[in-house]
Structure 1
Amino acid sequence: MTTFLKKHWFFVGMAVVSALAFAVPELGVVVKEYKILNFGIFLTFLITGLSLDTRSVLEQIRNVRVLSASLLSALVVIPIITAVLATLFFGDNIDFIIGSIIIAAAPVTVASGTVMTAMALGNVPLSLFICVLCNLFSLISIPLVLNWLLGFMEHMLRFEQAISLPVGQILITLSLTVLVPTVLGQIMRPWLREQVAVYKKAFSIFSQCVVLLIIFNAVSSSVGVIGSLGLGLVGLFGFMIFLHVVILALNYGISKAIRLDEPSTAAFTIHTSQKTLTISYLVWAGYFAHLFPLAMVPGIVYHVVQMIMDTFVAQWFRERAGRRQGG
């Protein structure tokens, strides 16, 4: 039992925080009132800045084709594909459509994408490079892409209430929450590099705990309506599994089209397909939570799906790499 919990503690944690949110939803109010989650998110990106090896990431700057392809896929193509598929699948369920678009417009993950790439014996510096660039450019792309896509959806679906996003305000919020702590971490890195290396595993666990807190906060905020979903939740899981398969296939195809080697293909396929729940939460909580309380649920489900599926994808790449080395 102990071995199982050590290996799968994150998935057990997701079940625990979800159950706790249903049992004591009032705790979510405390988390929000005292800005506990905001502080945790700030620390997460500060740790990201402290942990990133700037030299190894900058060595990938010459991969212009990878830069262009990853940015285009993660921040433009995937949101468009998701918007189309979600509209076709969910019909008049506006919360799920908007929630799907929000998670699709988010940048790639930081910790899990790199961990999965390492597990796949992929190109880790390239994975970090994709991570840094996508998160940086997302500060501009998120408000623009969301404004455009939701404006188009509003016209197509005839929303009862018009959606207007304050693009400049979103850009400032994301910059203060994501960019500032990351830059601070990079500035402090030369003096704290050795200390950070010692606590690398602890920092990874902390980042995952912040994700668990995000899940708790989102579920506790939506507990009144999540219970009424019933089979709709099963359908949402089915859609997100299908969507992630489509996205993985898309990015694998792109990596082959631009002729990446196998380690780089693993990094591109896995990391460009993963979406961060942290920034999705910031957008949802700041601009959608009141009108669309269920719009965070698709992001949570996609996060669960990508964590499970990409474990198997990474193992597949790892076995292919082992066969090549053995041959």
Structure 2
Amino acid sequence: MLKMLALDRFTILLFVMVILATFVPVSGHAADIFGVITTAAIAILFFLHGAKLSREAVVEGLMHWKLHALVFAFTFAIFPILGLAARPVLVPMLGQELYWGFLFMCFLPSTVQSSIAFTSVAQGNVASAICSASFSNLVGMFITPVLVSLFILGESKHDFDPTASIIQITLLLLVPFVLGQILRPYIFPYLKAMPKLVKAFDQGSILMVVYGAFSSAVVAGLWQQVSGTTLALLILACSVFLTIIMLLALYIPRWLGFNRADQKAVFFCGSKKTLASGVPMAQILFIGQPLGMIVLPIMIFHQIQLMVCGVIANYWAKQSSGEL
């Protein structure tokens, strides 16, 4: 493991992004520009995925309802149940406010771009990953506020309008993907001649998300809001929780008879939570609440999941290519 970490350039770059964001975070106008660049990179990534995938693979991905149902169960059933069950342990350990944030993290939808990118790097079922991750985010715009109002706020006093988020997801993910599908006869020959191009956008977009997300946390005063001991306990709680979820996401698809490519899609889509959608939701749902403490658990969990998934995705990619 140490040898693999030492020699894996992508894993090293993930840690470099976190360190860089800690000491040189992007902020202000530069953060706005960086956000635009990241958005463009994600759009290009989905355009390339659309151009790369055959129509048959897309149709198969759309029809794979068993896989989508399992990812949905992980995201909006298993995660919340485990989060609620952990209350007797986490409240004394973290305090009520951080536990609320931890539970809010459990109610969030899956990530989109990183789930798909990791699935692609690991040579999993990208078509199904695109459908599952996108569906998770669309449905999460409705389910997450309901879960928050039931188990955190008791009775939500604020309406949640998902229209803007749905339009944003559609424009950012679906439209480029469909455009790539339309232009596939013209684009695919170039992609075939440059097989490393999509992988570069896969990994590059993940690195940009890590740096941008962690920069936002640092600028918001991440290191001033909690003590070192509490932060260490939160990191431990997130790590243990992620380990449990990943073990379930690894073995349950095997027990249910999914093939190897589908197992990878379920693993990456079902074990992750979104920071990009989580922070805007928190700003709407937790008006008047300690927002910094609410979003801190998802910030920590997000960084850990990206780093761990980066190692696993590259390990599986080497397995598939016969390098291990």
What TM-score comes out, normalization by structure 1 length? 0.74
1:211 is displaced (CA, Å) by 0.9
Distance 2:320 2:189 in 1: 31
- State yes or no: 1:112 paired with 2:124: no
**Which residue is 1:191 aligned to?**
186
CA 1:201–1:86: 2 relative to 1, 3 Å: same
Q: Do the aligned residues in 2 keep the contact of 1:5 with 1:12 (CA within 8 Å)? A: no
2:166 corresponds, among 163, 171, 180, to 171
> Is residue 101 of structure 1 aligned with residue 74 of structure 2?
no
Conserved? CA contact 2:118–2:309, under 8 Å: no
Match of 1:28 in 2: 27
Partner of 1:325: none
Asked whether the equivalents of residues 70 and 134 of structure 1 are also in contact (C-alpha less than 8 Å), the reply is yes
Q: 1:243 aligns with which of 241, 244, 262?
A: 241
- Structure 2 residue runs of 5 or longer lacking an equivalent are 1-5
Take 2:268 and 2:61, find their aligned partners in 1: how far apart are those partners?
A: 17
**Paired residues, what number?**
304
The residue number in structure 2 matching 1:17 is 21
Cα deviation digits, residues 162-201 of structure 1 (max 9, x gap): 4542233433343344434443444444433344553224
Gaps of 5+ in 1: 22-26, 119-123, 323-327
Quote the Cα distance in structure 1 between the aligned partners of 2:293 and 2:30: 19
| Counterpart contact for 2:118–2:313, Cα < 8 Å | no
Counterparts in 2 of 1:130 and 1:220: CA distance versus 1, 3 Å: same
SS of the residue corresponding to residue 59 of structure 2 reads helix
Q: Which residue of 2 aligns with 1:265?
A: 263
Describe the SS at the equivalent of 2:152.
helix
Two-structure CA RMSD over aligned residues (Å): 3.8
Secondary structure (helix, strand or coil) at the match of 1:218 reads helix
Counterpart for residue 47 of structure 1: 45
Cα 1:101/1:47, change in 2 over 3 Å: same
User: Once the 2 structures are TM-superposed, how far is the Cα of residue 321 of structure 1 from its aligned partner?
Assistant: 8.7
Q: Is the 8 A contact 2:20 2:211 kept in 1?
A: no
2:180 and 2:24 map into 1 onto residues whose CA distance is 33
Residue 72 of structure 1: how far off its partner (Å): 2.7
Residues 100 and 295 in structure 1, CA contact (< 8 A), matched pair in contact too:
no
Name the CA distance, whole Å, in 2 between partners of 1:162 and 1:88: 27
Cα deviation, residue 111, structure 1:
0.9
Cα distance in 2, alignment partners of residues 205 and 316 from structure 1: 14
Question: Which residue pairs with 1:69 in the alignment?
Answer: 70
Give the AA of the match of 1:243: F
The amino acid of 2:66's aligned partner reads R
Residues 1:132 and 1:151: Cα distance change in structure 2 (over 3 Å): same
The equivalent residue for 1:301 is: 300
Identical aligned residues as a percent? 16
- 3-state secondary structure, aligned to 1:250: helix
What corresponds to 1:6 in structure 2?
9
- 8 Å CA contact 2:22, 2:214 repeated in 1: yes
SS of corresponding position for 1:293:
helix
The TM-score with structure 2 as length reference comes to 0.74
- Report if aligned partners of 2:47, 2:178 keep a CA contact under 8 Å in 1: yes
Distance 1:298 1:54, change over 3 A: farther
Is the CA contact 1:46–1:184 (under 8 Å) kept in the aligned structure 2? no
Deviation at 1:298, TM superposition (A): 2.2
What is the deviation of 1:81? Answer: 2.7
